[in-house]
Amino acid sequence: MARKLKRDLTMEEQLARGPVDLPFMLLVILLTGIGVVMVFSASFATAFYDPKVAKNDPAYYFIRQMLFAVAGIAVMYVTSKINYQSFRWLSVFALGVSILLLLVVFTPLGYGKETVGAQRWIRLPVVGSLQPSEIAKLGVVLYFAARLSKRNTEKPRRIDPRSNLSGILGLLQRIGFLELVPYILVLGVVAGLMLLEPHMSGTILILVGGAAVLFAAGIKLYWFIGGGAVVAAALWFIINNTNYMSKRINIWRDPWSDPLGDGFQTIQSLYAIGSGGLYGLGLGKSRQKFLYLPEPENDFIFSIVCEELGLVGAAVVLLLFALLIIRGYWIAIHARDRFGALLVVGFTTLLAVQVFLNIAVVTNFIPTTGISLPFFSYGGSALIIQLIEMGIILGVSRQIPAPKQG
């Protein structure tokens, strides 16, 4: 018995040491590298004219982002070496920590209200700041994947026929509602805390990530139609009854109604995109980053990509993202087990939706939201967490069964 147990453990260790999916890893490293270069190009003017934070050092943001990128790729590699089955028991811990951090945002440690009108960050001594919504996305996907991976093996709870509510509970169990209650509660708590910050785009990402895992696990389609309608109605009500969100809707419809105020960033973004033309002005030659476009190294970095690299360069970046997303779903389809597949679907969908929302914002396809472009936007903690997610996907790819020899 002891020998059999030892052989099983050795087999698990060997599975976790398999080769990573090389195309996926190279795409991640390539996008991260291009992102670091674009942070330098987009930020050096902002940093040079900033005596407080950057100390007039044009390489300030570049050096920090480069260090975080190197650390993040190292963490990604280490994470890929971990047997992803370990994340089953870590999922509850990750979810609990993310909820706790979302609560800490509202303490004196949280900040952002004075600068962007939303309290979304926590001050940290070494990293500088942390956005708990990034950890919340990780925690929700891990928790949902761990629970839903056992969905087909768990027996439904037996309802006492003598209970006064047995009829109602029986009906709710037959249509699948009782099964959804834990997931609805988790999404409700996390999304509710993020709406209080407020962080609308982050809330949408959390809901989409959770829904993606639920859908991949086989939850009936009618629940997504009904739930989507309820969520859309709730978000519409919140938008129309929140001053800053209503203002953003109005600016989205007509940015030139307030060209020197709330519409300034959107207008400058469109100028940058239009100025790039087919081939761009050249790397480092953007004009809008010279204190015209606010925060060019953050949420609107893709505008600088378009201005400097043109339509061709922007299309190449989008193609790389598309290939990464397609490869992610390929890994999910070929994953060794249900848990691995759900993890990859969750993280890949989060990546895809975040890229779409960021591009949609900078092109004024949707109202402005505080959402970053993965691997590109400046932010150390966000970059490291994104690379941890990619490391988990690579860990799943290590255990893809080898094709049978004919």
DSSP state at residue 220: -
What are the tens digits of pLDDT across the range 101-151?
A: 999 888 877 766 555 666 777 877 665 678 888 899 999 999 999 999 887
Contacts of residue 127, defined as CB under 8 A and 6 or more positions apart, other chains included, come to 380, 381
Helix ranges, 198-263 (H)? 200-216, 221-240, 243-253
Question: What one-character-per-residue DSSP string does 101-137 give?
Answer: HHHHTTSTTEE-HHHHSS--EEEETTTEEE-HHHHHH
Helix ranges, 149-220 (H)? 166-174, 177-196, 200-216
CB contact at 8 A, 234 and 207: no
Q: Is the preceding peptide bond at 259 cis, omega within 30 degrees of 0?
A: no
- Per-residue pLDDT for 319 more than 90? yes
What are the tens digits of pLDDT across the range 73-83?
A: 999 999 999 99
More confident: 313 or 253: 313
What's residue 95's pLDDT?
Answer: 93
Mean pLDDT of the 319-335 span: 96
CA 212/CA 148 separation, integer angstroms = 12
Contacts of residue 330, defined as CB under 8 A and 6 or more positions apart, other chains included, come to none
What are the tens digits of pLDDT across the range 332-381?
A: 999 999 999 999 999 999 999 999 999 999 999 988 877 899 999 998 88
What are the tens digits of pLDDT across the range 253-303?
A: 888 888 888 889 999 999 999 999 999 999 999 999 998 998 899 999 999
Which of 35-39, 185-189, 240-244 has the lowest average pLDDT?
240-244
The domains of the chain are located at: 21-398
CA 194/CA 278 separation, integer angstroms = 39
CA 180/CA 144 separation, integer angstroms = 11
